[in-house]
Amino acid sequence: MDCSPGSGSEVAGAGTGGRLRGERPAAALISAIGRSARTALSAHRCTHRATRLLLVAQAGATLFESGGDGLTAGRRFNADATGRADFATALAERRSEPLVVLVDRGDEVYRRERIPPLRGASRRALLTRRARQMGSEPVYQLTLGCGREVGGRGDEWVLFCAVPAGEWLTDWLDLALGQRVPVRCLSSLPALMPALWRLAADRMPGEHVLMVSWHPASGLRQSVLTRGRLQFCRCVPLSWSALEADPALCSAQIERLLQYLRGHGFLPDGALLQVYLLGVLATLKQDPAAMALSAARLETVSDAALARCIGLEDGDAAAIDAVLAWVGLGHRPDAAYALPRYSIYADLAAAQRGLRAVCAGMSVLACAWAMGTLTDAQAARAEAAQLTRTAAGVTQALSAEAERIAEAPVEPVRMQAMVAAVSAWHAARVMPDRALQAVSEALDRRPTVKLLRLNWRCEDVIRSISDGANGTANPPTPRPGCAVVVELHADCAAACPDQRSAMREAAALAAALRGHPDVSAVDLVRAPIETGAAQPIRGDAAMAPLDPQAFLLRLVFVHRHG
């Protein structure tokens, strides 16, 4: 570990009213103390933003102000009307900034108790009940866990701390309350000792540690930690002049504490206790060897190097308060406000926790929604780009074919329809020559019959054209274009001697036509003489028996494509 004096000189003025710049002491501490302190200080810097800490002692109060980049030390207010007025003015300057109140008082009440292994609400209820049993009327109560017993049922040791009520503290708190300044937390120095130890854990190893620190406003504080948990803490109200007059007082107090620890079982037999002196030797300008602690198994370590490593100059005893203030700004002990008029700060803390939870929940929900939406949007964007590229590829691939289609004389669909219409025409066309040929062949076989008149017609030809070419994409099915009907007027007057023979010729001609493959039906529409039973017959027997032997045949032809 690098404990260069230069790193300590950066904060030389911290205890004399100068400014502890966040970057510089942090850099000095980080380079000196190590990774654990670096992490802790980084966390502190995040929580120190625009927060003030009021260190209240018997003689007065000290206000530390922190911004985003550092901690300002050293506005002292005496415990009189002038000091409180100055403090009220200082509060009014930045009323919205929260205040952390740190109590440094020698007459704190401590009680160390063993409680059964409970958790959750049961443990909280038990701790509340035990804390109320402390008797006095404290301003606030603090509960510190000291760890569990290794053997047995695993009982837990708890240290109950209470700060007694008194004007020395309530005057300051009432000022904050009257100015509606939010008090973020109320704590006392013992609660900060574990955090202070963790800050310098690289330099102060050991399972059992005794930290002795000198606080000008209150005296000599002795804190015992086991595996980082506070077991005991007390403040001996020694004045500077008393210590200066008799430097052995310090070692005597330590000796008394060691005897108390041994007597009350704080230290197991054979346990090694390491003693760290913070600001004490520098204040007393005394060699550690001169402390002459009696216990042979105790290690006494000089505090000079440690003081430099955490940014304290020898002789700058007030700097320990600044470091504790720095630690206290980021520390939130499990404290309860015992006086009802300060319970609003508990409500305030609960409301702040609720607001933070709401903000965190909202942030999480908003972030989740935003992330989901952004992910969907990104996917949509990528898909849109892909689709656009695909569409462009399709369009580009079709350009040659589209050009060829555009060059066609007509649109392909129209072309198909027109070709279909022409096909329908051809399907509908029937020429009369086949029917004429059939009639000629029949007449050739009956030479006695003379053709008088022939009427050929193709019925509904126009409609068949219309129906055949419907203009759809599918070509029309060829269908018969028309019904071919031929009406044949003939007679055999020249060759038939009587009506009976004329009837025979007409019947023979009809039979001949029926035999033709193209003829589907032959009807004798008008016979040479009507002799049917349903027809009336009138005549004149005196007249010649041979009238013109004319008859009319009606032929229907089968449709065949020619």
476-515: contacts with other proteins (CB under 8 A): 481
Tokens 């509960």 belong to residue? 143
Q: Would you count residue 398 as binding other proteins (CB under 8 A)? A: yes
CB of 544 to other proteins, least distance (A): 23
Residue 213 near residue 279 (C-beta atoms within 8 A) = yes
At closest approach, how far in Å is the CB of 500 from other proteins? 25
Structure tokens at 410: 């007509």
Site string for other proteins, 412-441 (x = CB under 8 A): xxxxxxxx-xxx-xx-xxxxxx--xx-xx-
Q: Does 380 bind other proteins (CB under 8 A)?
A: yes
Q: Which residues contact 198 (CB under 8 A, 6 or more apart)?
A: 36, 40, 228
Rounded CA separation 388/396 (Å):
12
User: Which position among 43, 290, 292, 366 is part of the footprint of other proteins (CB under 8 A)?
Assistant: 366
> For residue 506, with 0-12 CB atoms within 10 Å meaning exposed, 13-18 middle and 19 or more buried, which class applies?
buried
Please state, in angstroms and rounded to a whole number, the distance separating the CA atoms of residues 221 and 190.
9
Q: Which of 358, 368, 507, 556 binds other proteins (CB under 8 A)?
A: 358
Q: Which residues have C-beta within 8 Å of that of residue 492, sequence separation ≥ 6?
A: 448, 449, 450, 501, 502, 505, 506, 549
Binding to other proteins by residue 452, rule CB under 8 A?
A: yes
| 376 near other proteins (CB under 8 A) | yes
Both tokens assigned to 146: 């000291």
Smaller CB distance to other proteins: residue 242 or 402? Answer: 402
Range 307-346, binding other proteins (CB under 8 A): 344
Beta strand 335-337 with 138-148 is antiparallel
Whole-number Cα distances in Å, 162 to 107, 380, 401, 432, 488: 9, 62, 94, 131, 139
Choice between 19 and 429, CB closer to other proteins: 429
In the complex, what is the shortest distance from the CB of residue 178 to other proteins, in angstroms, rounded to a whole number?
11
What would the 3-class secondary structure string for 158-199 be?
EEEEEEECCHHHHHHHHHHHHCCCCEEEEEEHHHHHHHHHHH
> Could you tell me the smallest distance in angstroms from the CB atom of residue 366 to other proteins?
5
> Which of residues 242 and 397 has its CB atom nearest to other proteins in the complex?
397
526, 451 in Cβ contact below 8 A? Answer: no
92 forms part of the interface with other proteins (CB under 8 A): no
- 164 is an interface residue for other proteins by CB under 8 A: no
Which range touches other proteins (CB under 8 A), out of 275-283, 446-454, 499-507, 534-542?
446-454
> C-beta of 457: minimal distance to other proteins in Å?
4
What count of Cα atoms within 13 Å lies in the side-chain half-sphere of residue 138?
A: 25
Question: Which one of 82-90, 91-99, 143-151, 207-215 is the stretch in contact with other proteins (CB under 8 A)?
Answer: 91-99
Size of the site for other proteins (CB under 8 A): 90
Q: Out of 140, 160, 456, 551, name the contact with other proteins by CB under 8 A.
A: 456
Choose which of 290, 357, 362, 556 interacts with other proteins (CB under 8 A): 362
Interaction residues for other proteins, span 176-195 (CB under 8 A): 180-182
Asked if 37 and 291 touch (Cβ cutoff 8 Å), the reply is no
Q: Which residues pair with 249 in a beta bridge?
A: none
Q: Which is nearer to other proteins, 37 or 496 (CB)?
A: 496
Name the one range near other proteins by CB under 8 A: 54-62, 73-81, 232-240, 379-387: 379-387
| Bridge partners, 199 (sequence order) | none
Q: Which one of 8-16, 61-69, 301-309, 360-368 is the stretch in contact with other proteins (CB under 8 A)?
A: 360-368
